[in-house]
Structure 1
């Protein structure tokens, strides 16, 4: 066959959604300057993470996201068979992630959030978050029972952890992240600033269990108040907002408080935004 006649094979829906999930994770990691998080400037409040590791971790999760979508298409409905299937795939994806990162937890929370969303997008493209919530409410009897750090902190402080956030239909994404992303874009703030503002909007009210685990309630209050101060000053596109953002970054690093939960929800925000903008579905969420 002549080389000029070669055409790229169209991507399947599973491949397209897996691509978007990985893109969302990489876009979140690259976004700079994020307060106390890994980005293009450095490691934030982390000693075991860096940007290259975040990229490698995201790429290692592509097969798991693809397999989740395929499971949704094969099973065809929300129910225990699908919940148990994506639970198994997610645990296998986590092992692939840990093998890539030499045991460092880079994206455990993101596997849960983005895995639910790509699965739901294959089933209910008009109501992705609602479908994801229905899946999250089902109990996977095969899931291991030991409490994660996030679950322990959620119990101690009465905070809503990643599981509850999904079960409620991702309110931090739909009520704060996406509206702020759209608002900042409409105001001409530029894409990177709009994404930073979306992260900050999520941080203003989220009881981030990563922050609570690392810095307790003082760290959480510093995160929430500081994020609101940036937005009140005009957001990350303004000079005053950038000054507040730098202050928040330094304060959270000093407290060893890295808002990893908010970062996962920003990735979920970017995923839902990209699913609609790329034309896979219209009027999603």
Structure 2
């Protein structure tokens, strides 16, 4: 079995950088979907607060985005610098990717926010594979997100509507600031929980909860308003204060949070997208490492 794994890893290393980045982005989306038990989100147990989603659909949606992520990485390598041409190229690719996703899901919005977040991070990684640190990726992604896409059509997304209504920082602002919910909350908690021996799945759940403690999740705001957002943030903090998802008291608090969010029909989809971004950043250096310096 080890020989097979070594052969697979060697084969993966021989792939072009753009394909490897697309693989890692899709893997991050699938790992996020599979993670259980997530509060009020689609996972291996159920569809959470969603009537139109299920785990198989999330997997199919993630796989449908592979060509878009690959093309974003390719155009980043080709253009080679942050600026208007690159911003508008990845904007176009992202919109095409969304069309492909919607075709796969028959019109269900599964990963629109993730296309934005992971698309920027894939592009940032391809621009400078010698610097795959969270700080470096966040800086490049943020600089790119700050550039106006002159070809962006007028959109009336739920996130934009909620951001205007509540003054909340939505997905666009998170990206423009370099994904602080990921770099300052999710990744540090992921590393802390691993260091305490909580196991990988519990560490990832704790990372999600850490993101939820401060995120103005526009998905929750849209479905359940400020009360729902407060319920999410305080409930997530209670789980972490109880010792995290690896402890009995933490699991009880997590179950309580799940039930509260389900009763409000509030799904923290924005936090889920940022967890996928967190998992993507986390895997880059181990998966690519110094090999990309020669790309």
TM-score bracket for the superposition, by shorter chain length: over 0.9
* Structure 1 match to 2:6: none
Q: Confirm or deny that 1:77 pairs with 2:73.
A: no
Q: Deviations over 1:13-58 (max 9, x none)?
A: 0000000000000000000000000000000000000000000000
Q: CA deviation at 1:178?
A: 0.1
- Whole-Å Cα distance in 1 between the matches of residues 152 and 98 of structure 2? 13
* Structure 2 match to 1:94: 98
1:199-214 residue pairs with structure 2 within 5 A? 199-214=208-223
Give the one of 24, 35, 53 matched to 2:57.
Answer: 53
Give the one of 161, 185, 189 matched to 1:176.
Answer: 185
- Whole-Å Cα distance in 2 between the matches of residues 280 and 29 of structure 1? 26
> What's the TM-score once normalised by structure 2's chain length?
0.92
Q: CA deviation at 1:145?
A: 1.4
- Whole-Å Cα distance in 2 between the matches of residues 168 and 160 of structure 1? 10
Give the one of 176, 192, 198 matched to 2:201.
Answer: 192
* Structure 1 match to 2:26: 22
* Structure 2 match to 1:4: none
Runs (4+) off by over 6 Å:
none
Q: CA deviation at 1:281?
A: 5.8
Q: CA deviation at 1:128?
A: 1.0
Q: Deviations over 1:86-128 (max 9, x none)?
A: 0000000000000000000000000000000000001134211
Contact 1:275–1:281 (CA under 8 A) maintained in structure 2: no
Q: Confirm or deny that 1:216 pairs with 2:225.
A: yes
Q: Deviations over 1:176-200 (max 9, x none)?
A: 0000000000000000000000000
Evaluate the alpha carbon distance shift between residue 223 and residue 8 of structure 1 in structure 2; reply closer, same or farther with a 3 A threshold: closer
Secondary structure, counterpart of 2:206 in structure 1: helix
1:128-139 residue pairs with structure 2 within 5 A? 128-139=137-148
1:240-259 residue pairs with structure 2 within 5 A? 240-259=249-268
Secondary structure, counterpart of 1:211 in structure 2: helix
Structure richer in helix, relative to its length:
2
- Whole-Å Cα distance in 1 between the matches of residues 290 and 125 of structure 2? 8
* Structure 1 match to 2:174: 165
- Whole-Å Cα distance in 2 between the matches of residues 137 and 281 of structure 1? 29
Unaligned runs of 5+ in 2: 1-9
Q: Confirm or deny that 1:68 pairs with 2:72.
A: yes
1:31-46 residue pairs with structure 2 within 5 A? 31-46=35-50
- Whole-Å Cα distance in 2 between the matches of residues 239 and 278 of structure 1? 33
* Structure 1 match to 2:239: 230
Secondary structure, counterpart of 2:72 in structure 1: helix
Evaluate the alpha carbon distance shift between residue 224 and residue 8 of structure 1 in structure 2; reply closer, same or farther with a 3 A threshold: closer
Q: CA RMSD in A?
A: 1.2
Q: CA deviation at 1:278?
A: 1.6
- Whole-Å Cα distance in 2 between the matches of residues 49 and 281 of structure 1? 39
Contact 1:180–1:197 (CA under 8 A) maintained in structure 2: yes
